[in-house]
Amino acid sequence: MGPKSERVYRTIREWIAAGKYSPGSRLPSERTLTEELDIGRTALRQVLAKLVSERVIEVHGRSSYRVPSRSAITEAPTGLEPWQIHGERMLYDNQWVKLSLVDVEPPGVERFEHHLVRLHHVAIAAVLDDQDRVLMLWRYRFVPESFGWELPGGIVDDGEDAAQAALREVEEETGWRPDSLEHVVTYQPMVGMVDSPHEIYVGRGAKHVGEPTDAEESGHVEWVPLADIPGLMERGELLGSGTLVALLHVLASRAVGAPPTTAA
């Protein structure tokens, strides 16, 4: 595509990412778009065809386009019973780790004691720029005894909002201040035995405000092309479940045409 078509292509993607056109909503007519975006009808149709091929938009009829709906259709099963919890006794407790034994009784199974590890609440952020790069850190982790790429993130302090923690951690660890972040998912990395809620945020755009201030957590800071992520994953150079979950979300969203974030 030429410079004008590329500009229009990015503008429409940004409109959808910013929530100007929400999932399921219809885009303006081709005539309106040509006037509003100052582009010819033929060039516009080439842009729209590219967006359709990337599943950013869907075509309906001859020349009507809309943003795909992202509503889930899979329903949760019913009639299943939860485990009964009869008590919990602490084995170890400090500011970082809590280890306890929980007296549990699964449906139809004799009750028993199950180990439970409680860790901190964590917030992690994938920040993208207008060149489809993601802000990452190259770090050494002594547990796996290896270097690797990670997204910035860390512990949510007592009384702190998770979104604010994500913003704070990005700035402390990279020296970049995100324009905005949107929450995309909360998950547990080891749900069978470990309680440690991980909040994943995604945003686009950041301002460089200085050098990293967290000397322990900061590493080599770099904007990594999203196109490199599958290769880094294959080489085992992406560390941490939060990094993997966030980047897989971004890549999956791009694959199905949905913007990775709708933050303004």
Rounded to two decimals, what is the model's pTM?
A: 0.72
How far, CA to CA in Å, does 86 sit from each of 11, 89, 109? 56, 11, 14
As a whole number of angstroms, the distance between CA 240 and CA 178 comes to 21
127 membership: H or E segment, kind and range: strand 122-128
- Per residue in 31-48, pLDDT tens? 999 999 999 999 999 999
Closest CA to 207 of 132, 155, 130, 261: 130
Burial string for 17-31 (b: 16+ CB within 10 Å, else e) reads bebebeeeeebeebe
| Arithmetic mean of pLDDT, 44-68 | 85
Instruction: Identify the three-state secondary structure at position 82.
Output: coil
Share of the chain above pLDDT 70, in %: 92
- The type of residue at 223 is W
State residue 69's pLDDT score.
79
Looking at per-residue confidence, does 217 or 18 come out higher?
A: 18
The values of phi and psi at residue 11, to 5°, are -60, -45
State residue 264's pLDDT score.
37
Structure tokens at 114: 């199950």
In the predicted structure, residue 19 carries a pLDDT above the cut 90: no
Closest CA to 223 of 137, 145, 106, 134: 134
What's the pLDDT band for 257 if we cut at 50, 70, 90? Answer: very low
- Per residue in 108-146, pLDDT tens? 999 999 999 999 999 999 999 999 999 999 999 999 999
